[in-house]
Every structure is written in C-alpha cells, then in structure tokens.
Amino acid sequence: MTYCVAMTVEEGLVFLSDTRTNAGVDHISTARKMAVFEQPGERMLVLLGAGNLSLTQAVLHELSEPADASQPTLWNVPTLGDAARVIGQAVRTVHQREAEALQEFGVDFNCSFILGGQIAGNRPRLFMIYAAGNFIEASSVNPYFQIGEAKYGKPIIDRVLTPSTPLDEAAKCALISMDSTVRSNLSVGLPLDLLVYEKDTLRVTRFVSIDHDNAYFQMIHRTWGERLRQVFGEIPDPDWQESQQVPTLQRERALVLHRAPVGADGVEHEFDAKPAQTLAQAEKGKAQR
C-alpha cells in the first residue's frame, strides 16, 4: 500500500510520498511513487501514484514513452489542466490493454494519481486523477489531496491547513500527517520523498529523501507523540455532577430500557422504557431523604 499527500497554498505546493511496497507480511520492498517532470524556467510538474504498482508504473511508462509521438505530452501541453487530461488518457490506455487480463486473475484495476506543479504563464495547480481517467482540481475549500492510506493522516490536515498557511508550515503538516500514518499502518513506511515547490520558481529548489536517520523527522515523531499525550492529560476527565470547573457530561434525564421478565406463559414481553436519573439528581435525592 502507500500514502501520498499534496497541498496547495498561496506560497506554493507541497508533495510527500512514502516508498513502501507490500506483497505480503514477509515481502516488503521499496519503490519511488513520486515522478518529477522538470524543464527549469519553463515547467515543473510532480506526479504521485498509488494503487497497484505495476499499473502506476505502466502509466508512467506510457507518459514517458508515448506510442504516438504526435499526441500532447507532459513536456509540451500549455496548461496543468491539459496535463491532467494527458495522464487521464494514459490511464485509459493502460486500462484498455491490461484490465481484462487482470480481471481473469481476480485483480482489480486499481490506481490513482495526484498531479501538481506550474507551467510558465500559469498559476500553480493541483489535480487528482482517478482510475477511470477523470479528474478533479483542488480549491480554496479543499486545498489538498490524499491517495492510498488516507484516513490516518487526514485529521491533522483538516484542522491545520488553509490556503494562507505558510509553505514551511504546510510541509510540517504533511510530515505530521505521514508520521501518523506510518505509526498506525505497517503498509506505509520510510524512506519518504518530500518536494516543496516555491511559487513561480519553475524549478525544483527543495527536495529531500527522508530515512530513519533524518533528525528532523525523528523530532517530529517524538515531539508530536509527547505533545498529544500532554494535551490529552490536560483535558479534564468527564464530570457526571454539577461542577464549576468542568462542563457536566450528562445534564438531561436518560432513557433506559428495562427488560420485562418472561411471563408465566413462557412468552417474553415487550421492553419497558423508563427514564433514569442523572447521578447529580440521584445524589440530590439522597441528600433530601
């Protein structure tokens, strides 16, 4: 499996992918899932892929070595939207060639991609391309995309990322998102590829391959876990009675179902619903008695 995330903010773009490939619990290897198409000063495109590795690599080969040289390529399309269409067509080409044979072996056609970057004369843009070749574009409402094992790293992004987030903070957010995923899913792992693109540079200026010896990522891993435990410990436990310090967890009368006994005829009767008192009300009643 894999996890890839890309973000678009006012200052530029962030791309992060893991490299783990998993063919079973006793066969784990690595493969790069980030491809860069760079012509300095003219265009800089990044493609992240997730899903069946043979399919994502087949799509990448189709993009790098197109069968029809007269067709548009990532090296000559005028806009990122056109680039997304080229990738979508490459996905459909691979599907036409491979899907039927894979189906005979019970293998689904499973691949998805994130494309982002900038072409001279255009603004930076970010797209997600699906297995059917269709795609959507990121916006100010949803300034990021994830593919692969997305659920573990999503909460931090939803709470932190906005279009105005500084570029380095967005990179930090992506790394924390990845750390949360690595922590909870064995099919995602280091090394990681991180590319941070500064708007209008039209070239790669910040790229790093992060392994287990990377001091910054180890600091992220250690500090994030410590601070989560610290904040968790600072939040008060549930208070079931009236208190000036902590909001009461239960303030209304709860509805409790009491199971009626089986009748003499051996038939189980219907449930009897009775309201139950809160602990605070029960304590108050005891005091009055």
φ/ψ (deg, to 5) at 103? -60, -35
- Could you tell me the residue ranges of all domains in the chain? 3-232, 254-288
Peptide bond into 191 cis (omega under 30): yes
CATH topology assigned to domain 3-232 = Glutamine Phosphoribosylpyrophosphate, subunit 1, domain 1 (3.60.20)
DSSP alpha helices (H): ranges in the chain? 53-64, 80-104, 154-160, 167-184, 215-234, 279-288
pLDDT at 264: 62
Q: Which residues fall within 8 angstroms of residue 253, CB to CB, at 6 or more apart?
A: 275, 276, 277, 278, 281
72 within 8 A of 66, measured Cβ to Cβ: no
pLDDT tens, position by position, 126-184: 999 999 999 999 999 999 999 999 999 999 999 999 999 999 999 999 999 999 999 99
Q: Are strands 272-276 and 34-39 parallel, antiparallel or unpaired?
A: unpaired
Enter the DSSP assignment of 146.
E
Amino acid 248: pLDDT? 72
This prediction's pTM: 0.86
Check residue 67 and give its pLDDT: 82
For the chain, which ranges sit under pLDDT 70?
23-25, 242-244, 250-289
Whole-number pLDDT of residue 68? 85
What pLDDT shows up at residue 28?
81
